[in-house]
Amino acid sequence: MELKIFGHKSPDTDSICSSIALTYLKNQLGESATAYRLGEVRKEAKYVLNYFKVDAPVLLEKVCSEDNCFLVDHNEYAQSVDGLQEANLIGIVDHHKLGGISTTLPLSVRIAPVGCTCTIIYNLFKENNVEITYEIAGLLLSAILSDTLLYKSPTTTQADIDACKALAEITKVDVETYAMDMFKYGTSLDGMSIPEIVHMDFKEFTIAGNKVGIGQVFTMDLDSIMAKKQEYIDYLESSEYFAVVLAITDIIKEGSYLLYKADNNVISDAFELEAAQGVFAPGVVSRKKQLVPNLTSALEK
Amino acid sequence: MELKIFGHKSPDTDSICSSIALTYLKNQLGESATAYRLGEVRKEAKYVLNYFKVDAPVLLEKVCSEDNCFLVDHNEYAQSVDGLQEANLIGIVDHHKLGGISTTLPLSVRIAPVGCTCTIIYNLFKENNVEITYEIAGLLLSAILSDTLLYKSPTTTQADIDACKALAEITKVDVETYAMDMFKYGTSLDGMSIPEIVHMDFKEFTIAGNKVGIGQVFTMDLDSIMAKKQEYIDYLESSEYFAVVLAITDIIKEGSYLLYKADNNVISDAFELEAAQGVFAPGVVSRKKQLVPNLTSALEK
């Protein structure tokens, strides 16, 4: 019976791309298989599917005891499709820790401590001598660049880099430019208002007796914010907070651009830089570990 | 730190051979590793180690939190070394169902639904382009022949057969002859007395109001029993049972040789053959499903 291949719930680029690529490989090897997804396709994966002109997998809501399932990019019941414990688990390809699944029959499991499931799938194509098409190479490459944050993530291994090099030759894309475009699109704030962006991930603190607000936005689409820089400042200034900071975090540059309602001295002091609206604070990526303690010690002075 | 590689408790030939072969592969790939065993080396594995002049792995009684462990031929805590849950689990190579292990870190897992762990390890040598020596080929071949019962087991796959063919070319052994010698030695009854052999796995039943005893011995060393055939018969005849049957089961031939204290008609009737001491009953391998019901219906007539 047909094999259902799918990644985890709330699918990221790796879950989408690995389900499609492994399905293609199985089909080439003569096995009947279909790629599924367990949730909405996010912006980043949409960019990838659109760029390489590949259809999204079909939405899968639950499985039953007759279904033959193959997991990619996860190996825990909690992250998987409803009904999996009753279904037949035929195989797993993943790069995460072991999640305690048990089965009644032998199966295929391929887990490796690499940065991305698609790196393992790339190697499965090679082991099985199946040619990687332009489209499949594009999906595999995109997922590895996504999971490794263009090799910046500490989870990156040589196997990931080697796979990307080989895949870039098939797709003929400039890896750096393509990855940045993908990240920008994936983290684009298009269609969101300034209040929505400021409050997307906003927390309130009481520091030295005053109410302080700290918002953080992960995006590589800085330009769209900076184009409306003064409107952001006006919005922050109009707030009732004693001080408020919006950190626009660029995970590739490993730092945050800061917009704020606060005394310039406080910002200079907190982040050891010369304060100015939109200034880049290198290395500042965590609200809990950096933004809050730094602002606390500066405001308590 | 050094990797400890080991198979399951009460190790069979696959557990012994796969721990040694994977350790050799890791060493060739520049990783420090040592093969261990979780129990006594059984006769069959002793034959293999002696034939190919390889030392047995070191006995491992428990591991602690500093140990880096790699499991072969099992993937369940209950079958593994004491202390494993506290140790670092680095990897698994296996051919069984998933046993519910969970880890805190990503690891390497390679599980395939093939007949023997050594079939997977053979493929790991090929994938890593590491030459298989005469000794390692001998261990891999022996384990696959053992687990697949010379391809007779229903768990046998084409991958097992392909691996054996390639390994037989390296070792230059005649597969059939070698396997039969290994099975014979592994199931040899050397050093055991007639009463010990008869009572090795003996059960008593009441059939049609009479006490009936049925013993079963799995061995491919029929000759050593048949050399003392009359002594066995005398021993059975001297018993207090109304009827007693000793089934000497040959799993490769898929049947049992019968020695008995019973009316010839009962034996003929029960197994649909012409009764004689030492007669071969084709297809009779299970006491529960064949010996007991067949004798019951014959004795109740």
Adjacency order of strands within the sheet including B68-72: A58-59, A33-38, A3-9, A68-72, A88-94, A108-111, B108-111, B88-94, B68-72, B3-6, B33-37, B58-59
- pLDDT score, position A107: 96
Pair (B214, B162) in one structural domain: no
Among B167, B185, B203, where does a domain finish?
B185
Q: Is the pLDDT of residue B1 over 90?
A: no
Q: Which residues of A touch B100 (CB under 8 A)?
A: 100-102
Separation between Cα atoms, residue B82 and residue B18, nearest integer Å: 20
Pair (A261, A115) in one structural domain: no
For A78-118, write each residue's pLDDT tens digit. 999 999 999 999 999 999 999 999 999 999 999 999 999 99
- pLDDT score, position A282: 96
Residue A4 vs residues A57, A225, B251, B261: alpha-carbon distances, Å: 11, 41, 38, 58
- Non-local CB neighbours of B172 within 8 Å, separated by 6+ positions: none
Q: Is the pLDDT of residue A60 over 80?
A: yes
Q: How far apart are the first and last CA of chain B?
A: 69
CATH code of the domain containing B258:
3.10.310.20
A108, closest residue in chain B (CA to CA): B112
Nearest to A255 by CA among A215, A295, A285: A285
Pair (B121, B198) in one structural domain: no
Pair (B176, B225) in one structural domain: no
Give the mean pLDDT of A62-90.
Answer: 96
Interface list for chain B against chain A, based on CB atoms closer than 8 Å: 89, 95-113, 127
- Retrieve residue B80's tokens: 């593994």
> pLDDT category, B301, cuts 50, 70, 90?
confident
Instruction: Supply φ then ψ for residue A165, to 5 degrees.
Output: -60, -45
- A204 and A213 Cβ atoms separated by less than 8 Å: yes
Give the mean pLDDT of B105-111.
Answer: 96
From the CA of B144, how many Å to the nearest CA of chain A? 17
What range defines the domain where residue B269 resides? 194-299
Give the mean pLDDT of A228-255.
Answer: 95
Of A97, A102, A112, the CB nearest to B98: A102
Of A97, A106, A108, the CB nearest to B106: A97
- Retrieve residue B121's tokens: 């390890």
Pair (B73, B199) in one structural domain: no
A vs B: CB pairs below 8 A = 64
Number of domains in chain A: 2
Instruction: Supply φ then ψ for residue A170, to 5 degrees.
Output: -70, -40
Percent of chain B beyond pLDDT 70?
Answer: 100
CA angle, B20 then B126 then B99, to 5°: 55
Of A104, A107, A113, the CB nearest to B107: A113
Pair (A224, A121) in one structural domain: no
- Retrieve residue A257's tokens: 């651009």
What is the ipTM metric for this complex?
0.84
Pair (A218, A174) in one structural domain: no
Tell me the DSSP string of A48-110: HHHHTT-PPPEE--B--TT-EEEEES---GGGS-BTGGGSEEEEEEE-SEEE--EEEEE-EEE
Tell me the DSSP string of chain A: -PEEEEEEES--HHHHHHHHHHHHHHHHTT--EEEEEESPPPHHHHHHHHHTT-PPPEE--B--TT-EEEEES---GGGS-BTGGGSEEEEEEE-SEEE--EEEEE-EEEE-SSS-HHHHHHHHHHHTTPPPPHHHHHHHHHHHHHHTTTTTSTT--HHHHHHHHHHHHHH---HHHHHHHHHHHHT--TT--HHHHHHTTEEEEEETTEEEEEEEEE-S-HHHHHTTHHHHHHHHHTSSSSEEEEEEEETTTTEEEEEEES-HHHHHHHHTS---TTEEEET---IIIIIHHHHHHHHT-
For B213-270, write each residue's pLDDT tens digit. 999 999 998 998 999 999 999 999 999 999 999 999 998 899 999 999 999 999 999 9
- pLDDT score, position B191: 87
For A171-183, write each residue's pLDDT tens digit. 999 999 999 999 9
> pLDDT category, B72, cuts 50, 70, 90?
very high
Separation between Cα atoms, residue A256 and residue A237, nearest integer Å: 20
Mean pLDDT, chain B, whole residue set: 95
Residue A149's region, left for phi above 0, alpha for psi from -120 to 50, else beta, is left
CB pairs under 8 A, 24+ apart, for B64-70? B66/B1, B67/B4, B68/B1, B68/B2, B68/B3, B68/B4, B69/B3, B69/B4, B69/B5, B69/B6, B70/B3, B70/B4, B70/B5, B70/B6, B70/B22, B70/B26, B70/B33
Q: Is the pLDDT of residue A27 over 90?
A: yes
Q: Which residues of B touch A98 (CB under 8 A)?
A: 89, 101-103, 107, 109
Q: Is the pLDDT of residue A1 over 80?
A: no
Pair (A127, A48) in one structural domain: yes
Q: Is the pLDDT of residue A191 over 90?
A: no
Give the mean pLDDT of A185-204.
Answer: 92
Pair (A92, A215) in one structural domain: no
Among B153, B185, B217, where does a domain finish?
B185
Q: For the beta carbon of residue B25, count every other beta carbon within 10 angstroms.
A: 21
pTM: 0.87
- A2 and A23 Cβ atoms separated by less than 8 Å: no
Among B142, B168, B185, where does a domain finish?
B185
Percent of chain A beyond pLDDT 70?
Answer: 100
Pair (B49, B85) in one structural domain: yes
Antiparallel, parallel or unpaired: β B108-111 and B279-282: unpaired
CATH code of the domain containing A57:
3.90.1640.10
Pair (A107, A211) in one structural domain: no
**Placement of tokens 């067949």 in the chain:** B294
- pLDDT score, position B221: 87
Pair (B179, B284) in one structural domain: no
- The verdict on a CB contact (< 8 Å) between B112 and A113 is no
